[in-house]
Amino acid sequence: MVDHSLAKTTILLLVSDPIVRSTLSETLDRAGYTVLATGDLGQAVDRLKECMPDLLITRTYVQSLSGHDAAVYLRTKCLKMKVLILGGLLDDDRLQYREALQGFDVFPKPYTAAELLQEVKDVLSKPRA
């Protein structure tokens, strides 16, 4: 069911894996978001020239670049954009990496489509830090 109140909400989706990108894009699109799906940082920068998204969704790694580094760079181009990083479980072995993600919302997997959509809604409803 499409939530028509989301019609003006634009999400920049930066995911290098084409299957994951397609699945996430379809899930977000069906929920009523406008999705700009990209597979690499260069494409994401090009998309930012077209519009200013409300939210960037990326994974912990995009090609050979960390999702955090990509988000930091993209946010310099769009200061009001919120960021949600989808990633693996950030357990004690990855404490240093978890600390590097501070300042962004992080949503570990596994998750269902409904859980993802709720997290997106929650992130969008928060004031940007």
**Which of the pair, 27 or 129, is modelled with greater confidence?**
27
Nearest to 53 by CA among 38, 68, 31, 69: 38
Average pLDDT value for residue range 109-120: 91
Please state at what angle helix 18-30 crosses helix 113-125, rounded to 10 degrees: 70
Over residues 71-107, the pLDDT tens digits come to 889 999 999 999 998 876 454 445 455 555 556 777 7
- With 80 as the cut, is the pLDDT of residue 36 above it? yes
Instruction: Please give the domain boundaries of the chain with CATH numbers for all domains.
Output: 4-124 (3.40.50.2300)
Whether the Cβ atoms of residue 11 and residue 44 lie closer than 8 Å to each other: no
> Kind of pairing, strands 61-62 and 65-66?
antiparallel
Say how many CA atoms lie within 13 Å of 120 toward its Cβ.
29
